[in-house]
Amino acid sequence: MKRIYLVTVLICIIMLFTSCTINEDVSKNAVVEEQVLASGSEDSNYVELNRVKDNIWVHTTYTNYNGYRTPSNGLVIETSDGLVMIDTPWNNEQTKELIKLTKDTFNKDFSLAVITHAHEDRIGGIDALLDNKIDVRSTMLTAELAEENGYKKPTPSLDSDPNIKIGDVAIEVFYPGEGHSADNIVVWLPNDRVLFGGCIIKDLNSEGLGSTTDANIQQWPISLNKLLEKYSDADVVIPGHGKWGDIGLIKHTLELLKQ
Ligand SMILES: [Zn+2]
């Protein structure tokens, strides 16, 4: 009798566990279908997350840039050892909102951030990262330019340590040469073949090169051709602003440079 009772209890526990697992899968799928998360009430603190791979999200924020409402992209990568941010939103308020949204969503903290060049749309939220004791890294040149541009300095470790392994995710940074800026680097995620190009790559809707104040127009195509060669098998290519796609974005940017 005691034995039957034990078996019944065991079956109940297994059924309960199975139903919990199913429920969890359903809620996870709901997020995958939607693929968009958002937080914040107005542009000053609004942040959006769009899923591009299982564990890779594009974060997008907006600001009034030279009179135009301008979106900007960075990445959030979920790893088994915390979250990684590639570039901050435009400002600290949006960056705080992104930290809050990701904490609510993934129940994880950022353990690392990478800055791809020292402009407002990449580094504008660095104070929020440093206040949260997040390890922020860049190249030596970006750290120097950050200081010149009035931002706090990231740790300049990427020149000597460009390949990062964090939890189950590999992150490789590469400097293709000057382009949009003297210091622009790209981030390659080999596991998913995702290339975060940042501002050296324009989206397909761009009819111009955007801000060229710090650009090197002669060198830019040479740097892009290096990217085309090195990352010809990229599955997703993400520009600094606008919609992501495939390596067609690099070819489009090369066309813009011919004009
Ligand atoms: Zn820039």
Q: Would you say residue 186 lies in a domain?
A: yes
In a domain, 122, yes or no: yes
pLDDT at 194: 98
Give me ligand 1 centre to Cα 204, in Å. Answer: 18
Token readout for 257 is 């440079």
Instruction: Please tell me the distance between residue 66's alpha carbon and the centre of ligand 1 in angstroms.
Output: 14
CB 115 within 8 A of CB 137: yes
Return d(Cα 124, Cα 118) in angstroms, integer.
Answer: 9
Interval between CA 218 and ligand 1 midpoint (Å) = 17
Q: Mind listing the pLDDT tens digit of every residue in the chain (259 residues)? A: 455 555 555 554 555 444 444 443 333 333 344 488 888 888 989 999 999 999 999 999 999 998 999 999 999 999 999 999 999 999 999 999 999 999 999 999 999 999 999 999 999 999 999 999 999 999 999 999 999 999 999 999 999 999 999 999 999 999 999 999 999 999 999 999 999 999 999 999 999 999 999 999 999 999 999 999 999 999 999 999 999 999 999 999 999 999 8
* 62 CA distance to ligand 1 middle (Å): 15
Measure Cα distances from 225 to 1, 202, 229, 255 in Å.
76, 14, 6, 12
Ligand 1 mean position to 155 CA, how many Å? 19
Q: How far is CA 217 from the centre of its chain?
A: 26
Strand partners, 65: 68
* DSSP conformational letter for 214: T
Cα(55) to ligand 1 centroid in Å equals: 26
Q: From ligand 1's centre to the CA of 180, what distance in Å?
A: 6
Q: Which pLDDT score, from 0 to 100, does residue 3 have?
A: 56
Q: How far is the CA of 220 from the centre of ligand 1 (A)?
A: 13
- Between CA 174 and CA 184 the distance in angstroms is 9
Task: Fill in the DSSP letter of residue 236.
Answer: E
Q: Distance, CA 119 to ligand 1 centroid (Å)?
A: 5
In this structure, what CATH number is given to the domain that contains residue 187?
3.60.15.10
Q: What is the pLDDT of residue 4?
A: 52
Cα 121 to ligand 1 centroid, rounded to whole Å: 7
pLDDT of residue 41: 85
> Which two three-digit tokens encode residue 59?
């974060």
The radius of gyration computed from the CA coordinates of the chain, to the nearest angstrom, equals: 21
CA 31 to ligand 1 centroid distance, Å? 32
Do residues 94 and 84 make contact, with C-beta atoms less than 8 angstroms apart?
Answer: no
pTM of the model: 0.86
Phi-psi region of 196 (alpha: psi -120 to 50; beta: other; left: phi over 0): beta
In a domain, 129, yes or no: yes
pLDDT number for residue 31: 38
Strands (E), 6-67: 36-39, 47-53, 56-65
pLDDT, position 83: 98
Residue 259 confidence (pLDDT)? 87
For residue 174, how far is its CA from the centre of ligand 1 (angstroms)? Answer: 16
- 118 vs 235: CA distance, rounded Å: 27
In a domain, 240, yes or no: yes
Q: How many domains does the chain have?
A: 1
54 C-alpha to ligand 1 centroid (Å)? 28
CA of residue 197 to ligand 1 center, whole Å: 11
Please report the DSSP string for 184-196 in residue order.
--EEEETTTTEEE
For residue 20, being part of any structural domain is answered with: no
Domain residue limits at 160: 35-258
CA distance 187 to 175: 9
Name residue 137's beta-bridge partners: 114, 155
Give every strand in the sheet of 163-166, ordered side by side: 163-166, 169-174, 186-189, 194-198, 236-239
- Please give the distance, rounded to the nearest whole angstrom, from the Cα atom of residue 69 to the centre of ligand 1: 16
